[in-house]
A and B are shown apart, each in its own frame.
Chain A
Amino acid sequence: MDPIILSLYQVLVFPGFLFLMAASFLYEWLDRKIYAWMQLRAGPVTAGPVGILQPVADFVKLMGKEDITPAYADRRIFGAVPVVMVALILTFWAVVPVTGAEGLVSFKGDVIFAVVAMTFFCMLVFLGGFSSADRFSLLGAERAVLQLLGFEIPMMLSLTGVCIHTGGLSLSEIVSWQAENGWSILGPQSIGFFIFLVAAQAELERIPFDIPEAEQEIVAGWLTEYSGRKLALIRLAKDMELVFVSGLAVALFLGGPFGPSPAGLEWALYPAYFLLKLALVVAALALIRGLFARARIDQMVSFGMMYLVPLSLAQVAATILWRLI
Chain B
Amino acid sequence: MSSSYERIFDIPIGPQHPALKEPAMLKLKVDGEHVVGVDLDVSYNHRGIEKAAEYRTYIQNLYLIERICGICNVAQTLTYCLAVEYLHGKEIPPRARFLRVLAEEISRINSHLLWLGVAAHEIGFDTFFMHVWLDREITLGLMEALSGNRITSSYNVIGGVRRDVTEGLLSTIRKGLDELEPRVKRYREIVLNDRSILKRTQGVGILRSADAVSTSAVGPTLRASGIKSDVRIDDPYSSHDQIPFNVITADGCDAHSRILVRLDEIMESVQICRHCISKLPAGPILQRLPRRPPQGEAMSRVEAPRGELFHYISSDGTDKPYRLKVSTPTLANLPALVRMLTSKGRYVVNIADVPVILASIDPCFSCAARVERSGGA
Contacts and interface: CB of A to CB of B under 8 A. Distances in A.
Contacts of B11: 135-136, 139, 218
Interface residues of A, number: 32
B49 interface: no
A149 to B, nearest CB: 14
Interface core residue of B9, B12, B352 (most chain A CB under 10 Å): B352
B296 interface: no
Interface string A294-309: 1111110000000000
A142 B350 CA distance: 14
A217 B349 CA distance: 13
A291 B351 contact: no
B130 A296 contact: no
A293 B259 CA distance: 15
A153 B199 CA distance: 23
B1 A133 contact: yes
Given A217-B19, A294-B125, A298-B350, A39 B130 contact: yes
Interface of A: 38-41, 72, 133, 135-136, 138-139, 142-143, 207-208, 210-211, 214-219, 290-299
B120 interface: yes
Given A218-B351, A298-B350, A293 B197 contact: yes
B266 to A, nearest CB: 20
Interface core residue of B130, B131, B134 (most chain A CB under 10 Å): B130
B124 A214 contact: yes
B32 interface: yes
Contact of A297 (B124, B128, B134, B352): B352
B351 A216 contact: no
Contacts of A210: 124
A41 B130 CA distance: 8
12 contacts: A39-B130, A40-B134, A139-B30, A214-B124, A217-B355, A218-B351, A291-B127, A293-B200, A294-B196, A294-B352, A295-B200, A296-B352
B354 A293 contact: no
Contact of A216 (B1, B19, B130): B19
Closest 8 CB pairs of A and B: A294-B124, A293-B125, A39-B130, A293-B196, A216-B355, A293-B123, A216-B19, A292-B196
A133 B197 CA distance: 33
Interface string B12-42: 1000011100000000001011000000000
Interface of B: 1, 9-12, 17-19, 30, 32-33, 120-128, 130-131, 134, 194, 196-197, 199-200, 350-355
A296 B199 contact: yes
B197 A39 contact: no
B196 A208 contact: yes
B355 A39 contact: no
A135 B351 contact: no
A217 B200 CA distance: 13
Given A39-B130, A295-B199, A215 B18 contact: yes
B362 to A, nearest CB: 15
A135 B32 CA distance: 11
Contacts, number: 87
B199 A38 contact: no
A298 B130 contact: no
Contacts of B352: 211, 214, 217, 294, 296-297
A39 B131 contact: yes
B32 A39 contact: no
B355 A292 contact: no
A72 B19 CA distance: 25
Nearest to B355: A216
Nearest to A291: B127
Contacts of A218: 11, 351
B130 A293 contact: no
Contacts of A295: 196, 199-200
A135 B197 contact: no
B212 to A, nearest CB: 25
A188 to B, nearest CB: 26
Contacts of B126: 39, 207
Interface core residue of A210, A218, A297 (most chain B CB under 10 Å): A218
A208 B19 CA distance: 17
Contact of B125 (A40, A214, A292, A296): A292
A97 to B, nearest CB: 34
A38 B120 CA distance: 15
Nearest to B198: A293
Given A40-B134, A139-B11, A216 B353 contact: no
A1 B10 CA distance: 63
B1 A296 contact: no
Contact of B124 (A41, A135, A138, A293): A293
Given A41-B130, A135-B10, A216-B124, 8 more contacts: A40-B130, A135-B11, A139-B30, A210-B124, A216-B18, A219-B18, A292-B196, A297-B350
A157 to B, nearest CB: 23
